A and B are shown apart, each in its own frame.
Chain A
């Protein structure tokens, strides 16, 4: 059973960089063409796709965040990471990591979520 677990600071100051890591267990992060994905959800609101990385190194980012965003994969550690710089209060949200299936492309495994608050 694949499991994902987010980790990272819960509080980030405005203008600084939000960094989160997703640890993947129960399956190989480097096999198949899975989409290792970040999704966020502001409190009481809907879901926003942030972007994904594949084992091939292919990345796709949401254009609304692209200039501030980097998603990377570390197969040796079985984890992938999110870096979002120049954050503002608008980046406050629950951040989920998820796996997009290599055949279906939909998000079949999710982490529990990591709440990140941007505040001074």
Chain B
């Protein structure tokens, strides 16, 4: 299985901060990387697919980058609604796998 490792596991930040989360794959996944946001008690919500494509309706302060084995999710100016847990997911090779999550807290 392809292992997805996110860093950091927890991130403390303030409203207005620029925040970057890193996701590393144990082998190349080309550009088949997605990012999800999950709030407590809710299902995950897709933010970005194919590394950098923004899902419809997702604010432009979210952006993704990278390729191969190293990827990033950046929030350009953190808003109160963005405090949540973020997961990366590869869909290059079965079984599709998720990172362990990064909790963004105040």
Q: Which residues on A are within 8 Å of B, measured CB to CB?
A: 46-49, 60-64, 96, 98, 104-108, 110-113
A47 with B44: CB separation less than 8 A: yes
Contact of A64 among B49, B55, B95 (CB under 8 A): B95
B43 with A63: CB separation less than 8 A: no
A interface majority secondary structure: loop
Contact of B101 among A46, A48, A96, A110 (CB under 8 A): A46
Interface residues on B, range: 20 to 34
CB within 8 Å of A: which B44-103 residues: 44-46, 49-50, 53, 55, 87, 89, 91, 94-101
A64 to B96, CA, bound (A): 12
A37 to B44, CA, bound (A): 14
A106 to B94, CA, bound (A): 13
